[in-house]
Amino acid sequence: MAWLVKGAAILAFGEQPPLLFEIAPVFFGASLLGLGLTLTQRAGRRHAVVALGSISLLAGAVSGASELAGSLLDVSILVASLSLLVGLVVLGRHAPSRAHRLGWIIGVSMIPAGFVGGVLSEWDERLLEVPLVGLSVLWIWLGWALVRPASAVPANQ
């Protein structure tokens, strides 16, 4: 949601709200960590995704904390983003659940989305946000897919 609000605000008003960009990697890393912990495939893949999710979560937390301190550490955003990207791709397209497969789709979509955003930003810098808003909608869908199975259990069980 943070990136959706950030992207919509930039597209509509040309201004980035404070902290939404910097706090999002914490939630992305936590999501990847959750995907890794619920992965039922081979232990090696599960351990890799959990490790990359943990790295992404910690680097995202460092990024957010450094922004609050007034000195953003760009390397922490880079580490959070790269570990997130690799972790999502490691999930694999034949993952056991819809949420895991959606995570993989987000991972493989990140590179083309960045390229499209770069091309669009040549016309107007705000347009960089268009593919990021699209990715944020996929992340929201992923969150729904992760929560939905738990809430779909019938009350009599």
pLDDT averaged over every residue in the chain = 87
Q: Each residue of 47-103: pLDDT tens digit?
A: 999 999 999 999 999 988 887 777 766 788 899 999 999 999 999 888 778 889 999
SS3 137: helix
Task: Please report the pLDDT score of residue 66 as a whole number.
Answer: 83
- Look at residue 127 and give its three-state secondary structure: helix
pLDDT (tens digit, 9 = 90+) per residue, 1-50?
888 999 999 999 999 888 788 788 899 999 999 999 988 767 888 999 99
